[in-house]
Amino acid sequence: MPPSATLVQSEEWDDGGAALGPRDRPPMSASPPRVLIIGAGSRGRTYAEATRTSSNGIVVGVVEPDSYKRMDLGRRHIWGPQGRDRPAEGESFADWTDFVAYEKQRRRRAAAGETGVPEAADAVFICVLDEMHRAVIEAMVELGGLHIMCEKPLATTLEDCAAIYKALRVNEATGTGYATQHIFSIGHVLRYSPHNILLRKLLLEDRVIGDILSVVHTEPVGWWHFTHSYVRGNWRREQTSAPSLLTKSCHDIDVLLWLLCSPASYRGGNETAPHLPSTVSSSGSLQLFRKSRKPMAAGSATNCLSCPVETDCKYSAKRIYLGNQLRGLGTGNTRWPVSIVVPDIEDYASRAGLSGAEDALLHELAEDYGPDTPDSEVAKRNWFGRCVFECDNDVCDDQVVVVTWDEDEPPSPADARAQHSSGALADRLQHRGAKTATFHMVAQTKKICDRYTNLYGVDGEIFADSETITVEDFRTGKKTVHRPPKESKGHGGGDDGLTRQFILAVDRVKNHGMTADQAQREIVGCTLEEIIRSHALVFCAEAARHGKTVVDWAPWWAKEVEGHLA
């Protein structure tokens, strides 16, 4: 490190005023928030674990159609810790509609004064398939009485996002919903990592580089990670899922708007209006994972297990899922991505050992389809042994989005004089000047979701990667390197952070007299409009990409979002 550099082991954290350290759990209330997990896949398991280890809530129920996943989550987090082998009433449901029917009946029983009625859940984590989000959210809103955290993306179409927005806004307008009684959060976990919390503080509160002029942000998905999720997996087809910009990168679009658009703080109720974008453009395509790139030596093979060049192919399903590199079974890993191929792989391993688990994986990887298989059947499921150059994928594996902002109204003369007297003459626009954000999503890279960002300001620049935040000050020549703490591996601590903040907000409303609107703004730190805005910008970028044009944000929003609310 050069002599002019300063290393800072940063412990900055923002928890709505409770002054917690990065690894502290909020104190438990006498009646802790009771959480229901709807969907026990990888994200549902993550939030259940984070609830147990990092929040002041408890998991009291699970909804999951797959019996193994349902029982596994229950044994780990609900009835198992209480020494029971089986669920009690109200703890386990195969379908979310079963929970709704049960909860309505439970409320009728409680209202009638029946004794022994189980206590209600206070909040739900919605972690079902993306295309199911709208139906589940609308059902929970209609049911009432539940705080909601929905995994990202909010929905897979702009129409569904707008419908959810409308349902929540109507509920808000009646005075019976989210403005006064209930919290709604989204799984944009990047907002909640210690790294990004510190980055935002340095930019917007400490203003270490002055007004921001330009941001270049990259999400490296990872060469084999992309094949798992977006070539062979759930999110490979836009028609059955959504564009990869939404399913993978709505996190990143949200973070950019959080840094460049949202108010610096929601505390005190005096936040400034958002600095809204001016234009949106995008370009991108499916560049690599298509049949024209298939190695000639592979011939007509469509499955890795029958391919003559499988041993030489870096995309070999055997290498990725069974190998002793990456995160295959050979490394001892039985979680993601191996558990996505065989959900009960841990059960196979415990009953039949490593060879039994290998056999189960090979059985799944051998499954394939032919030219006579109806497309509807192909689209229904994942084909993890399929050649990555012979799949039915169509989502972008490389995409760039550019968002611009025009200069907004400058501060009042009094504000300008105050800044002049403090020596902040070049900072007078308070981040409401003209600026540009460029986002790049790239599949072909060794980095797996290790995002990195360059931020350029009037008085300095910042380079932020997954480990450090390096600030270069033009005025002093000083270089400062911050190393924010890592709470967990899950999105740099964002999984734990989001879970903690959502449940802490529920606790403040349930037990400490805080209004839901205040808890939403000050503890969750994200409003409903921010949630919709970041999702809408993804669809706006896709409209720009398909139309090969630059979209004017304000009229697009008025027509495509507000127009749906009329």
Residue with the larger pLDDT of the pair 423 and 121? 121
In contact, 362 and 370? CB cutoff 8 Å: no
- DSSP label at 244? H
The CA–CA distances, whole Å, from 150 to 88, 169, 186 equal 25, 16, 5
Amino acid sitting at position 221? V
- What would the pLDDT profile of 38-86 be if each residue is shown by its tens digit? 999 999 999 999 999 999 999 999 999 999 999 999 999 999 999 999 9
Is the pLDDT higher at 182 or at 188? 188
Residue 15 has pLDDT above 50, yes or no: no
Name residue, tokens 């084999």: 224
pLDDT at 411: 53
Determine the Cα–Cα distance for residues 198 and 255; give it in Å rounded to an integer: 13
pLDDT tier for residue 147 given thresholds of 50, 70 and 90:
very high
How many Cα atoms occupy the beta-carbon half-sphere of 417 within 13 Å? Answer: 3
Task: Say whether pLDDT at 342 is over 90.
Answer: yes
Taking the C-alpha atoms of residue 162 and residue 536, their distance in angstroms, rounded to an integer, is 9
Q: How far is Cα 53 from Cα 33, in angstroms, rounded to an integer?
A: 14
Average pLDDT on 132-140 reads: 97
Q: What is the mean pLDDT of the chain?
A: 90
Q: What angle do CA 156, 157, 158 make, to 5 degrees?
A: 135
What percent of the chain is predicted at pLDDT more than 90? 82
* Predicted pLDDT at 117: 97
pLDDT band at 564 (very low <50, low <70, confident <90, very high): confident
More reliable by pLDDT, 411 or 188: 188
Which residue type does 486 have?
Answer: K
Q: Is the pLDDT of residue 173 over 90?
A: no
Q: Count of CB atoms within 10 A of residue 12's CB? A: 19
Output the pLDDT for position 331.
95
pLDDT at 377 over 80: yes
pLDDT value at 535 more than 60: yes
pLDDT digits (tens, 9 = 90+) for 413-450: 545 444 444 445 556 778 899 999 999 999 999 999 89
Cα 355-361-363 angle, rounded to 5 deg: 105
List CB contacts of 384: < 8 A, sequence separation 6 or more.
228, 232, 233, 317, 321, 340, 341, 364, 365
Q: How confident is the model at residue 266 (pLDDT cuts 50, 70, 90)?
A: confident
Residue carrying the six token digits 């903690």 = 500
Beta strands in 112-241 (DSSP E): 123-126, 147-150, 184-186, 212-220
Would you state the pLDDT for residue 12? Answer: 40
Q: Is the pLDDT of residue 385 over 90?
A: yes
pTM, full prediction: 0.91
Residue 18: pLDDT above 50?
no
Q: What is the pLDDT of residue 167?
A: 86
Give the tens place of pLDDT for each residue, 481-524.
999 987 666 667 789 999 999 999 999 999 999 999 899 999 99
Please tell me which residue, 14 or 313, carries the higher pLDDT value: 313
- CA 346 to CA 344: how far, in whole Å? 5
544/278 Cα distance (integer angstroms): 13
CA dihedral 288, 292, 298, 299 (to 10 degrees): 160
Strand locations in 443-559 (E)? 452-457, 460-464, 469-473, 479-482, 551-552
The CA distance from 564 to 560, in Å, is 7
Domains annotated for the chain, with CATH where assigned, are 211-265+273-289+393-458 (3.30.360.10), 292-380 (no CATH)
